[in-house]
Structure 1
Amino acid sequence: MTSGAAPRIGVLAVQGDVREHLAALTELGATAVTVRRPEEVERIDGLVIPGGESTVIDKLLRAFGLQTLLRERISAGMPVYGSCAGMILLADRIADARPDQQTLGGLDITVRRNAFGRQVDSFEQQLDFAGFDSPVHAVFIRAPWVEQTGPTVEVLARVGEGPAAGRIVAVRQGNLMATSFHPEVGSDRRIHAEFVTITSNAKESV
Protein backbone atom coordinates (compact mmCIF):
# COMPACT_ATOMS: atom_id res chain seq x y z
CA MET A 1 0.00 0.00 0.00
CA THR A 2 1.12 3.54 -0.69
CA SER A 3 2.31 5.42 2.38
CA GLY A 4 -0.16 8.13 3.38
CA ALA A 5 -3.05 6.67 1.41
CA ALA A 6 -6.37 5.99 3.10
CA PRO A 7 -6.38 2.61 4.83
CA ARG A 8 -8.15 -0.18 2.94
CA ILE A 9 -10.48 -1.78 5.48
CA GLY A 10 -12.45 -4.89 4.68
CA VAL A 11 -15.81 -5.81 6.14
CA LEU A 12 -16.31 -9.56 6.40
CA ALA A 13 -19.35 -10.11 4.21
CA VAL A 14 -20.32 -13.74 4.75
CA GLN A 15 -23.20 -12.91 7.12
CA GLY A 16 -24.41 -10.05 9.31
CA ASP A 17 -24.88 -6.26 9.16
CA VAL A 18 -22.29 -5.47 6.50
CA ARG A 19 -23.70 -2.34 4.84
CA GLU A 20 -23.81 -0.26 7.99
CA HIS A 21 -20.12 -0.83 8.69
CA LEU A 22 -19.18 -0.08 5.09
CA ALA A 23 -21.11 3.20 5.29
CA ALA A 24 -19.47 4.23 8.59
CA LEU A 25 -15.95 3.50 7.34
CA THR A 26 -16.54 5.29 4.04
CA GLU A 27 -17.91 8.32 5.87
CA LEU A 28 -14.63 8.49 7.80
CA GLY A 29 -12.50 8.47 4.65
CA ALA A 30 -11.35 4.86 4.67
CA THR A 31 -11.48 2.72 1.55
CA ALA A 32 -14.12 0.21 2.64
CA VAL A 33 -14.51 -3.07 0.75
CA THR A 34 -16.31 -6.36 1.27
CA VAL A 35 -14.31 -9.50 2.00
CA ARG A 36 -15.63 -12.91 0.97
CA ARG A 37 -12.71 -14.63 -0.76
CA PRO A 38 -9.17 -15.49 0.38
CA GLU A 39 -7.53 -13.29 -2.24
CA GLU A 40 -9.42 -10.27 -0.87
CA VAL A 41 -7.89 -10.80 2.58
CA GLU A 42 -4.42 -10.21 1.14
CA ARG A 43 -5.40 -6.74 -0.13
CA ILE A 44 -6.68 -5.14 3.08
CA ASP A 45 -4.96 -3.21 5.88
CA GLY A 46 -7.61 -4.02 8.50
CA LEU A 47 -10.85 -5.93 8.92
CA VAL A 48 -14.25 -5.45 10.57
CA ILE A 49 -16.16 -8.55 11.65
CA PRO A 50 -19.81 -7.50 11.93
CA GLY A 51 -22.61 -8.77 14.11
CA GLY A 52 -24.64 -11.77 13.06
CA GLU A 53 -24.66 -15.37 14.28
CA SER A 54 -21.21 -16.41 15.48
CA THR A 55 -21.69 -20.12 14.82
CA VAL A 56 -22.86 -19.45 11.26
CA ILE A 57 -19.97 -17.07 10.56
CA ASP A 58 -17.54 -19.64 11.94
CA LYS A 59 -18.84 -22.34 9.59
CA LEU A 60 -18.82 -20.00 6.59
CA LEU A 61 -15.24 -18.89 7.29
CA ARG A 62 -14.17 -22.51 7.08
CA ALA A 63 -16.34 -23.26 4.05
CA PHE A 64 -14.97 -20.24 2.13
CA GLY A 65 -11.34 -21.05 2.97
CA LEU A 66 -10.93 -17.88 5.05
CA GLN A 67 -10.26 -19.18 8.55
CA THR A 68 -6.58 -20.15 8.29
CA LEU A 69 -5.62 -17.04 6.31
CA LEU A 70 -7.39 -14.71 8.73
CA ARG A 71 -5.74 -16.40 11.71
CA GLU A 72 -2.35 -15.92 10.06
CA ARG A 73 -2.96 -12.24 9.35
CA ILE A 74 -4.27 -11.62 12.87
CA SER A 75 -1.16 -13.30 14.32
CA ALA A 76 0.97 -11.08 12.06
CA GLY A 77 -0.63 -7.95 13.52
CA MET A 78 -3.46 -7.03 11.14
CA PRO A 79 -5.93 -4.72 12.93
CA VAL A 80 -9.38 -6.23 13.41
CA TYR A 81 -12.50 -4.78 15.01
CA GLY A 82 -15.36 -7.12 15.95
CA SER A 83 -18.85 -6.05 16.99
CA CYS A 84 -21.19 -8.47 18.82
CA ALA A 85 -20.64 -11.78 16.98
CA GLY A 86 -17.31 -10.31 15.85
CA MET A 87 -16.23 -10.14 19.49
CA ILE A 88 -16.97 -13.86 19.84
CA LEU A 89 -14.97 -14.66 16.70
CA LEU A 90 -11.94 -12.76 18.05
CA ALA A 91 -12.06 -14.33 21.51
CA ASP A 92 -9.55 -17.00 22.45
CA ARG A 93 -12.16 -18.69 24.64
CA ILE A 94 -15.97 -19.07 24.65
CA ALA A 95 -17.57 -19.97 27.97
CA ASP A 96 -20.58 -21.70 26.39
CA ALA A 97 -19.28 -22.74 22.99
CA ARG A 98 -21.03 -25.42 20.98
CA PRO A 99 -18.94 -28.60 20.67
CA ASP A 100 -17.83 -27.85 17.11
CA GLN A 101 -17.54 -24.06 17.43
CA GLN A 102 -14.20 -22.43 16.59
CA THR A 103 -12.92 -18.86 16.66
CA LEU A 104 -10.25 -16.86 14.89
CA GLY A 105 -8.82 -15.87 18.25
CA GLY A 106 -6.29 -13.18 19.06
CA LEU A 107 -8.01 -11.51 22.01
CA ASP A 108 -7.03 -12.99 25.38
CA ILE A 109 -10.61 -12.97 26.64
CA THR A 110 -13.38 -15.38 27.58
CA VAL A 111 -16.79 -14.43 26.22
CA ARG A 112 -20.30 -15.74 26.87
CA ARG A 113 -22.64 -15.87 23.88
CA ASN A 114 -26.13 -14.31 24.15
CA ALA A 115 -25.20 -13.30 27.70
CA PHE A 116 -27.87 -10.62 27.97
CA GLY A 117 -30.65 -12.90 26.77
CA ARG A 118 -32.67 -13.44 23.63
CA GLN A 119 -33.72 -11.01 20.89
CA VAL A 120 -36.61 -9.74 23.04
CA ASP A 121 -34.09 -8.78 25.73
CA SER A 122 -32.25 -6.37 23.44
CA PHE A 123 -31.67 -2.95 24.99
CA GLU A 124 -29.89 0.39 24.63
CA GLN A 125 -27.75 2.25 27.14
CA GLN A 126 -25.37 5.20 27.42
CA LEU A 127 -21.88 3.89 28.24
CA ASP A 128 -18.71 5.58 29.40
CA PHE A 129 -16.00 4.58 26.89
CA ALA A 130 -12.29 4.94 27.62
CA GLY A 131 -10.76 7.92 25.84
CA PHE A 132 -14.07 9.54 24.86
CA ASP A 133 -15.26 12.76 26.49
CA SER A 134 -18.95 11.83 26.35
CA PRO A 135 -20.89 8.54 26.60
CA VAL A 136 -21.48 6.18 23.69
CA HIS A 137 -25.04 5.19 22.82
CA ALA A 138 -24.79 1.39 22.81
CA VAL A 139 -27.32 -0.93 21.18
CA PHE A 140 -27.22 -4.53 22.48
CA ILE A 141 -28.87 -7.25 20.36
CA ARG A 142 -28.45 -10.84 21.63
CA ALA A 143 -25.07 -9.60 22.78
CA PRO A 144 -22.15 -11.39 24.43
CA TRP A 145 -20.18 -10.08 27.37
CA VAL A 146 -16.60 -10.62 28.46
CA GLU A 147 -16.20 -12.81 31.54
CA GLN A 148 -12.40 -12.84 31.80
CA THR A 149 -9.55 -10.78 30.38
CA GLY A 150 -5.85 -11.49 30.12
CA PRO A 151 -3.23 -9.13 31.61
CA THR A 152 -2.60 -7.22 28.36
CA VAL A 153 -6.28 -6.59 27.55
CA GLU A 154 -7.56 -3.06 28.10
CA VAL A 155 -11.18 -2.76 29.24
CA LEU A 156 -12.79 0.09 27.30
CA ALA A 157 -16.38 -0.03 28.57
CA ARG A 158 -18.63 -1.74 31.11
CA VAL A 159 -22.39 -1.80 31.52
CA GLY A 160 -23.24 1.08 33.82
CA GLU A 161 -26.59 0.09 35.28
CA GLY A 162 -29.20 -2.65 35.49
CA PRO A 163 -28.83 -6.35 36.36
CA ALA A 164 -25.67 -6.63 34.24
CA ALA A 165 -23.95 -3.56 35.73
CA GLY A 166 -20.18 -3.92 35.67
CA ARG A 167 -20.07 -6.47 32.85
CA ILE A 168 -17.28 -5.84 30.34
CA VAL A 169 -18.61 -4.94 26.87
CA ALA A 170 -15.65 -3.38 25.04
CA VAL A 171 -11.97 -4.33 24.98
CA ARG A 172 -8.74 -3.71 23.14
CA GLN A 173 -5.51 -5.68 22.91
CA GLY A 174 -2.88 -4.25 20.59
CA ASN A 175 -4.42 -3.89 17.12
CA LEU A 176 -7.53 -5.86 18.05
CA MET A 177 -10.68 -4.17 19.35
CA ALA A 178 -14.14 -5.56 20.09
CA THR A 179 -17.50 -4.41 21.42
CA SER A 180 -20.54 -6.39 22.53
CA PHE A 181 -22.78 -3.71 21.05
CA HIS A 182 -23.42 -2.28 17.59
CA PRO A 183 -21.86 1.19 17.06
CA GLU A 184 -22.78 1.06 13.37
CA VAL A 185 -26.39 1.69 14.46
CA GLY A 186 -26.95 5.44 14.66
CA SER A 187 -24.66 8.33 13.77
CA ASP A 188 -21.88 8.17 16.39
CA ARG A 189 -18.73 7.25 14.46
CA ARG A 190 -16.16 7.54 17.24
CA ILE A 191 -15.54 3.80 17.65
CA HIS A 192 -15.14 3.32 13.90
CA ALA A 193 -12.88 6.38 13.84
CA GLU A 194 -10.74 4.83 16.56
CA PHE A 195 -10.40 1.68 14.48
CA VAL A 196 -9.51 3.66 11.35
CA THR A 197 -6.76 5.33 13.39
CA ILE A 198 -5.50 1.96 14.68
CA THR A 199 -5.41 0.65 11.10
CA SER A 200 -3.71 3.76 9.73
CA ASN A 201 -1.02 3.64 12.41
CA ALA A 202 -0.38 -0.06 11.80
CA LYS A 203 -0.20 0.53 8.06
CA GLU A 204 2.33 3.35 8.45
CA SER A 205 4.53 1.25 10.76
CA VAL A 206 4.99 -1.52 8.18
Structure 2
Amino acid sequence: MSELIIGVLGLQGAVSEHIKQIEATHCKGIIVKKPEQLHDIDGLILPGGESTTMRKLIDRYGFLEPLKQFSLQQKPIFGTCAGMVLVAKDLTDSDDVHLKLMDVRVKRNAFGRQKESFEATLQIKGFESPYTAVFIRAPYIETAGDQVAVLATYENKIVAAKQDHILVSAFHPELTSDTRFMKLFVDMVKKSKEIAAY
Protein backbone atom coordinates (compact mmCIF):
# COMPACT_ATOMS: atom_id res chain seq x y z
CA MET A 1 0.00 0.00 0.00
CA SER A 2 1.25 3.51 -0.79
CA GLU A 3 2.16 5.87 2.03
CA LEU A 4 -0.76 7.12 4.07
CA ILE A 5 -1.28 10.88 3.83
CA ILE A 6 -3.09 12.50 6.75
CA GLY A 7 -4.10 16.14 6.59
CA VAL A 8 -4.54 18.59 9.45
CA LEU A 9 -7.02 21.40 8.84
CA GLY A 10 -4.67 24.37 9.09
CA LEU A 11 -7.06 27.23 9.80
CA GLN A 12 -6.42 27.51 13.55
CA GLY A 13 -5.20 25.45 16.49
CA ALA A 14 -2.40 23.01 17.32
CA VAL A 15 -1.46 22.15 13.73
CA SER A 16 2.32 21.56 13.88
CA GLU A 17 2.00 19.32 16.96
CA HIS A 18 -0.41 17.08 15.07
CA ILE A 19 1.94 16.93 12.07
CA LYS A 20 4.78 15.78 14.37
CA GLN A 21 2.60 12.99 15.82
CA ILE A 22 1.47 11.88 12.35
CA GLU A 23 5.12 11.65 11.26
CA ALA A 24 5.96 9.74 14.47
CA THR A 25 3.56 7.02 13.25
CA HIS A 26 5.44 6.84 9.90
CA CYS A 27 2.73 8.54 7.85
CA LYS A 28 2.97 11.72 5.81
CA GLY A 29 1.31 14.77 7.40
CA ILE A 30 0.21 17.81 5.41
CA ILE A 31 -1.38 21.08 6.47
CA VAL A 32 -4.68 21.59 4.63
CA LYS A 33 -5.36 25.24 3.84
CA LYS A 34 -7.40 24.89 0.62
CA PRO A 35 -10.49 22.69 0.04
CA GLU A 36 -8.94 21.09 -3.06
CA GLN A 37 -6.21 19.57 -0.88
CA LEU A 38 -8.86 17.25 0.60
CA HIS A 39 -8.62 15.19 -2.62
CA ASP A 40 -4.97 14.38 -1.85
CA ILE A 41 -5.37 12.95 1.66
CA ASP A 42 -6.53 9.64 3.15
CA GLY A 43 -7.64 11.00 6.54
CA LEU A 44 -8.20 14.39 8.16
CA ILE A 45 -7.64 15.82 11.64
CA LEU A 46 -9.76 18.74 12.86
CA PRO A 47 -7.50 20.16 15.58
CA GLY A 48 -8.24 21.95 18.81
CA GLY A 49 -8.70 25.71 18.84
CA GLU A 50 -11.82 27.82 19.23
CA SER A 51 -14.79 26.19 17.51
CA THR A 52 -16.68 29.42 16.68
CA THR A 53 -13.58 30.97 15.12
CA MET A 54 -12.84 27.75 13.25
CA ARG A 55 -16.38 27.70 11.85
CA LYS A 56 -15.99 31.29 10.62
CA LEU A 57 -12.74 30.33 8.87
CA ILE A 58 -14.33 27.16 7.43
CA ASP A 59 -17.05 29.38 5.92
CA ARG A 60 -14.61 32.06 4.76
CA TYR A 61 -12.39 29.58 2.91
CA GLY A 62 -15.24 27.50 1.47
CA PHE A 63 -14.58 24.32 3.46
CA LEU A 64 -18.07 23.45 4.75
CA GLU A 65 -19.43 21.41 1.82
CA PRO A 66 -16.02 19.89 0.87
CA LEU A 67 -15.64 18.63 4.46
CA LYS A 68 -19.11 17.07 4.34
CA GLN A 69 -18.24 15.44 0.99
CA PHE A 70 -14.99 14.12 2.45
CA SER A 71 -17.01 12.46 5.22
CA LEU A 72 -19.56 11.06 2.73
CA GLN A 73 -16.67 9.22 1.05
CA GLN A 74 -16.18 7.45 4.42
CA LYS A 75 -12.70 8.89 4.74
CA PRO A 76 -11.70 8.99 8.42
CA ILE A 77 -11.92 12.24 10.38
CA PHE A 78 -10.42 12.81 13.83
CA GLY A 79 -11.76 15.77 15.82
CA THR A 80 -9.79 16.82 18.89
CA CYS A 81 -11.28 19.27 21.42
CA ALA A 82 -12.81 22.00 19.20
CA GLY A 83 -12.76 19.44 16.37
CA MET A 84 -15.14 17.32 18.46
CA VAL A 85 -17.49 20.32 18.68
CA LEU A 86 -17.33 20.77 14.89
CA VAL A 87 -18.42 17.18 14.07
CA ALA A 88 -21.24 16.97 16.66
CA LYS A 89 -24.85 16.66 15.54
CA ASP A 90 -26.02 18.70 18.56
CA LEU A 91 -24.52 21.26 20.93
CA THR A 92 -25.91 21.69 24.44
CA ASP A 93 -25.51 25.46 24.63
CA SER A 94 -26.04 26.51 21.02
CA ASP A 95 -28.27 25.99 17.99
CA ASP A 96 -25.30 26.80 15.76
CA VAL A 97 -24.16 23.24 14.97
CA HIS A 98 -21.48 22.83 12.34
CA LEU A 99 -20.74 19.68 10.29
CA LYS A 100 -23.31 17.35 11.97
CA LEU A 101 -21.28 14.21 11.21
CA MET A 102 -21.52 12.31 14.51
CA ASP A 103 -24.55 11.34 16.57
CA VAL A 104 -23.45 13.09 19.77
CA ARG A 105 -24.51 16.09 21.82
CA VAL A 106 -21.47 18.06 22.96
CA LYS A 107 -21.13 20.60 25.77
CA ARG A 108 -18.41 23.17 25.11
CA ASN A 109 -15.84 24.37 27.71
CA ALA A 110 -17.58 21.85 29.89
CA PHE A 111 -15.22 21.27 32.79
CA GLY A 112 -15.52 24.84 34.06
CA ARG A 113 -13.07 27.65 34.54
CA GLN A 114 -11.39 26.20 37.63
CA LYS A 115 -10.19 23.32 35.48
CA GLU A 116 -9.45 25.13 32.25
CA SER A 117 -6.32 23.04 31.75
CA PHE A 118 -5.49 19.78 33.52
CA GLU A 119 -4.14 16.29 33.02
CA ALA A 120 -6.01 13.10 33.82
CA THR A 121 -5.19 9.42 33.64
CA LEU A 122 -7.75 7.58 31.52
CA GLN A 123 -8.60 3.98 30.80
CA ILE A 124 -9.11 3.89 27.04
CA LYS A 125 -10.91 0.96 25.42
CA GLY A 126 -8.38 -1.21 23.60
CA PHE A 127 -5.32 0.25 25.36
CA GLU A 128 -3.45 -2.15 27.64
CA SER A 129 -2.19 0.54 30.03
CA PRO A 130 -3.58 3.91 31.24
CA TYR A 131 -3.28 7.00 29.05
CA THR A 132 -2.37 10.46 30.36
CA ALA A 133 -4.64 12.99 28.64
CA VAL A 134 -4.19 16.77 28.44
CA PHE A 135 -7.45 18.75 28.68
CA ILE A 136 -7.54 22.46 27.74
CA ARG A 137 -10.93 24.21 28.16
CA ALA A 138 -12.29 20.86 27.10
CA PRO A 139 -15.75 19.88 25.90
CA TYR A 140 -17.37 16.54 26.67
CA ILE A 141 -20.10 14.41 25.10
CA GLU A 142 -23.36 14.64 27.08
CA THR A 143 -25.27 12.05 25.08
CA ALA A 144 -24.32 9.60 22.34
CA GLY A 145 -26.44 7.64 19.87
CA ASP A 146 -26.62 3.83 19.67
CA GLN A 147 -24.05 3.68 16.88
CA VAL A 148 -21.41 5.55 18.89
CA ALA A 149 -18.72 3.49 20.68
CA VAL A 150 -17.55 5.14 23.90
CA LEU A 151 -13.75 4.80 24.22
CA ALA A 152 -13.09 6.76 27.43
CA THR A 153 -14.84 8.65 30.22
CA TYR A 154 -13.63 11.11 32.84
CA GLU A 155 -15.78 11.80 35.93
CA ASN A 156 -18.58 9.85 34.18
CA LYS A 157 -18.42 12.19 31.17
CA ILE A 158 -17.64 10.80 27.69
CA VAL A 159 -14.29 12.23 26.51
CA ALA A 160 -13.42 9.92 23.59
CA ALA A 161 -15.66 8.09 21.15
CA LYS A 162 -15.88 6.61 17.66
CA GLN A 163 -18.69 6.26 15.13
CA ASP A 164 -17.93 4.55 11.82
CA HIS A 165 -15.14 6.66 10.26
CA ILE A 166 -15.28 9.50 12.84
CA LEU A 167 -13.03 9.55 15.93
CA VAL A 168 -13.18 12.26 18.60
CA SER A 169 -11.39 13.19 21.80
CA ALA A 170 -12.07 16.01 24.24
CA PHE A 171 -8.36 16.02 25.08
CA HIS A 172 -5.24 16.83 23.04
CA PRO A 173 -3.30 13.66 22.07
CA GLU A 174 -0.85 15.79 20.08
CA LEU A 175 0.43 17.46 23.27
CA THR A 176 1.85 14.22 24.70
CA SER A 177 4.63 11.87 23.59
CA ASP A 178 2.16 8.94 23.73
CA THR A 179 1.24 8.17 20.12
CA ARG A 180 -1.32 5.42 20.84
CA PHE A 181 -4.34 7.59 20.14
CA MET A 182 -2.84 8.79 16.85
CA LYS A 183 -2.08 5.16 15.96
CA LEU A 184 -5.74 4.35 16.59
CA PHE A 185 -6.65 6.94 13.95
CA VAL A 186 -3.91 5.77 11.57
CA ASP A 187 -5.33 2.23 11.77
CA MET A 188 -8.76 3.62 10.81
CA VAL A 189 -7.20 5.42 7.83
CA LYS A 190 -5.31 2.28 6.78
CA LYS A 191 -8.46 0.15 6.84
CA SER A 192 -10.42 2.79 4.95
CA LYS A 193 -7.78 2.94 2.22
CA GLU A 194 -7.69 -0.85 1.94
CA ILE A 195 -11.48 -0.98 1.52
CA ALA A 196 -11.39 1.82 -1.08
CA ALA A 197 -8.75 -0.10 -3.06
CA TYR A 198 -11.10 -3.07 -3.63
TM-score if structure 2 supplies the norm length? 0.96
* Match among 156, 159, 163 for residue 169 of structure 1: 159
Runs of 5+ unmatched residues, structure 2: none
User: Quick check: 1:152 aligned with 2:147?
Assistant: yes
Q: CA deviation at 1:119?
A: 7.6
Query: Hey, what's the Cα distance between the residues in 2 that align with 1:7 and 1:117?
Result: 38
- Choose the corresponding residue for 1:64, options 54, 61, 64: 61
Runs (4+) off by over 6 Å = none
Within-5 A mapping of 1:105-144: 105-118=100-113, 121-144=116-139
AA at the equivalent of 1:51: G
Aligned residues: 196
Q: What SS does structure 1 have at the residue aligned with 2:37? A: helix
Question: What's 2:35 paired with?
Answer: 38
More helix by share: 2
Cα distance in 1 for residues equivalent to 2:97 and 2:147: 22
TM-score normalised according to structure 1 size? 0.92
Percent of counterpart pairs with the same letter?
41
Deviation at 1:118? Answer: 3.0
**CA RMSD of superposed structures (Å):** 1.1
State how far apart, in whole Å, the 1-side matches of 2:32 and 2:113 are.
29
**Deviation per residue, 1:98-147 (Å, 9 max, x gap):** x5x33112110000000012386321110000000011101110000000
Aligned equivalent of 2:192: 202
How many angstroms does 1:76 deviate by? 2.2
Structure 1 distance, partners of 2:9, 2:113, is 24
In structure 2, the residue matched to 1:183 is 173
